[in-house]
Amino acid sequence: MIMSNETFLGFRRPDGRFGIRNYVLILPTSVCANKVAQDIARQVKGATWVNNDFGCCQVAGDARLTEKTLINVANNPNVGAIVVVGLGCEGAEPLRIAEEITAFGKPTSCITIQEEGGTLKCQARGISLARDYAQQLSMQKPQQAPVSELL
């Protein structure tokens, strides 16, 4: 335990933890959605993305492990909102991932390339969602928190 009177400015999450950053996370559920997720993140100030080399051609336990990993990435306290991006046919199910992420109390949306009608339409929809989230997050004011709150 850190014994200090020092503080930092952070964003309190619904679970009580603090994040120093307030990112919109663009979360691809498969390798097939990486490029779309990356393109969305590059177009939105305050957004970031993670690379996912899995999700397609996975079954049962392997797919569930990928899902749990992605869900836990979204639970990082530096993430304030999430746009889940899937292809639409992967073993790691985008909608299930998004539904489980909502339990963290963070704004979350789910889009798939197939349901949106292709890559460009999915990118446009994702950019719109991410910009809305970034605007919402920009209204949040950081709070003083003790250094002991850092993970």
What pLDDT is recorded for position 142? 97
Determine whether 29 is exposed, middle or buried from the number of CB atoms within 10 Å of its CB (0-12, 13-18, 19+): buried
For the cut 80, the answer to whether the pLDDT of residue 117 exceeds it is yes
What pLDDT is recorded for position 138? 98
Q: Where are the alpha helices (DSSP H) in 19-150?
A: 34-43, 60-74, 94-102, 113-116, 119-138
Place of tokens 């991006």: 85
- What average pLDDT does the segment 125-138 reach? 99
pLDDT in tens, 56-102: 776 778 889 999 999 999 999 999 999 999 999 887 899 999 999 99
CA distance 132 to 47: 11
For the cut 60, the answer to whether the pLDDT of residue 141 exceeds it is yes
- Greater confidence, 60 or 138? 138
CA distance 89 to 33: 11
For the cut 70, the answer to whether the pLDDT of residue 53 exceeds it is yes
For the cut 70, the answer to whether the pLDDT of residue 2 exceeds it is no
- Under DSSP, is residue 118 helix (H, G, I), strand (E, B) or coil? coil
Which domains are assigned to the chain? Answer: 7-149 (3.40.50.261)
**Count of alpha carbons within 13 angstroms of residue 51, beta-carbon side:** 1
- What average pLDDT does the segment 108-112 reach? 98
Contact yes or no for 90/112 (Cβ under 8 A): no
- What average pLDDT does the segment 107-116 reach? 98
What pLDDT is recorded for position 90? 85
CA distance 3 to 59: 47
